[in-house]
Amino acid sequence: MAMTPYFPAHGDHRYHVSHYDLTLKYSVTGNRLDGTARLTISTAEPLTTLDLDLGRFRIPAVTVDGAPARHAHRPGKLRITLPTPLPAGADTVVEIRYTGRPAPIPSPWGGLGWEELTDGALVAGQPTGAPSWFPCNDRPDNKATYRITVTTASPYQVVANGILTAHRRAAGTTTWTYDQPEPMATYLASVQIGRYQLTDIAGTQLAHPPRLGTRARHDFGRQGEMMAAFTHRFGPYPFTGYIAVVADDDLDIPVEAQGMSIFGRNHVDGHRGSERLIAHELAHQWFGNSLTVSCWSDIWLQEGFATYGEWLWSEASGGPPAAEHARRWHQRLAGLPQDFVLADPGVDMLFDDRVYKRGALTVHALRRTLGDEAFFPALRAWTTAHRHGNVTTQDLAAHVQRHTARPVGPLLSAWLYDKPLPPAV
């Protein structure tokens, strides 16, 4: 199936990275990153060169299976000339040493990726920010395992994807090693650095500035109940751990990462005023992080289901039921321009709120059509069948049809491919 090339300058389908081993040293005061990236690569076709996505860094050395390799680097792309041509199906290990001041990747939504904080750093990679801090095959359907090792000044806590497997102190610095065994898309890889305190909340974790402890523990206090509600509705939690990070800076919106969500201090008010967003980011662990779109044109599969997760949490926690949220949002969308196709909204509309809300309305329409007795088992089967994989709109349509005798093609076609908003269901 042809995929819509929303970001044709990113990624390369001629090879697949199966593992990233990133060893980083970061100076908070100087915003300097020294990195060594070891990529385990399998070729899909014969190659004489290898193109990786990487931002503005100096490249002291590149090796392929230990042999020095010539390379050319311009902002955005690192081209490596392979010492020996590789046939299709070959495995190789490429090591890149790089150094510089990490800077966000420009995009229609502002800078993406590695960002300096007032006192620390964060990574906000969706959709094309990963090359701001490591060389990669930056496309959502190349998922890989990761080891991320970060050395920085000892007053700072480092949080990265996966499980903390090593923690070593030296003279004035601390080295943190995280292993991410479940496959992960590049845009979901993340490092958070700050003066954080860790709190356990019903088996989940919260990292927050100590001075915000009381408010943060209250605002995230139902995270365990939320996890239980989503596990009941969506199926088993797909990763080995979950942590929410509250940065000591304001953030426009929360940031999604695998096994992790990142919030700004402005999302903590002591009154659970952002609990809707906490639910949204947790739902992304199933829809977006475990089940990742194969191409960005299908983003509704992530944002629509995560938004519906907000409505389901409202329903489960004593708030308005999902049907009430659906009724209210249908009324609001009916009064707005209907000028995009949900299953292919285009780059400019990728993060438009109408994509999120129409996506959630599509999920609700499926629920109403199938009935809860069929919809939720089908939803759990969806997350099980594609656990840690990639999905398309066509995959979902075929999956839903297998779970009902009623034809769902016309319903999905109206919601996904027609611009006019279908009637409320």
List the CATH number of the domain containing 218.
Answer: 3.30.2010.30
State the pTM of this model: 0.97
The closest alpha carbon to 193, from 171, 160, 242, belongs to: 160
Q: Let me know whether 336 and 300 are in one domain.
A: yes
Q: Let me know whether 266 and 153 are in one domain.
A: no
Q: Please check whether residue 152 is in contact with residue 32, taking contact to mean a CB–CB distance below 8 angstroms.
A: no
Q: Let me know whether 209 and 337 are in one domain.
A: no
Q: Let me know whether 31 and 100 are in one domain.
A: yes
Angle (nearest 5°) at CA 178 between 68 and 130: 60
Q: Let me know whether 266 and 130 are in one domain.
A: no
Is 229 among the domain residues?
yes
Q: How far apart are CA 320 and CA 335, in angstroms?
A: 22
| Final residue belonging to a domain, choices 143, 173, 193 | 193
425 residues of the chain, pLDDT tens digit each: 334 589 999 999 999 999 999 999 999 999 999 999 999 999 999 999 999 999 999 999 999 999 999 999 998 999 999 999 999 999 999 999 999 999 999 999 999 999 999 999 999 999 999 999 999 999 999 999 999 999 999 999 999 999 999 999 999 999 999 999 999 999 999 999 999 999 999 999 999 999 999 999 999 999 999 999 999 999 999 999 999 999 999 999 999 999 999 999 999 999 999 999 999 999 999 999 999 999 999 999 999 999 999 999 999 999 999 999 999 999 999 999 999 999 999 999 999 999 999 999 999 999 999 999 999 999 999 999 999 999 999 999 999 999 999 899 999 999 999 999 999 98
Residue 225, classified by CB atoms within 10 Å of its CB into exposed (0-12), middle (13-18) or buried (19+), is middle
Q: How far apart are CA 233 and CA 285, in angstroms?
A: 13
Q: Please check whether residue 393 is in contact with residue 301, taking contact to mean a CB–CB distance below 8 angstroms.
A: yes
Strand-pair partners of 70 = 81
Residues 6+ away with beta carbon under 8 Å from 74: none
**Which helix (H) or strand (E) is 306 found in, with range?**
helix 300-316
Q: Let me know whether 59 and 109 are in one domain.
A: yes
Q: Let me know whether 225 and 106 are in one domain.
A: no
Q: How far apart are CA 416 and CA 102, in angstroms?
A: 38
Q: Let me know whether 137 and 156 are in one domain.
A: yes
- 146: containing domain: 14-193
Q: Let me know whether 69 and 39 are in one domain.
A: yes
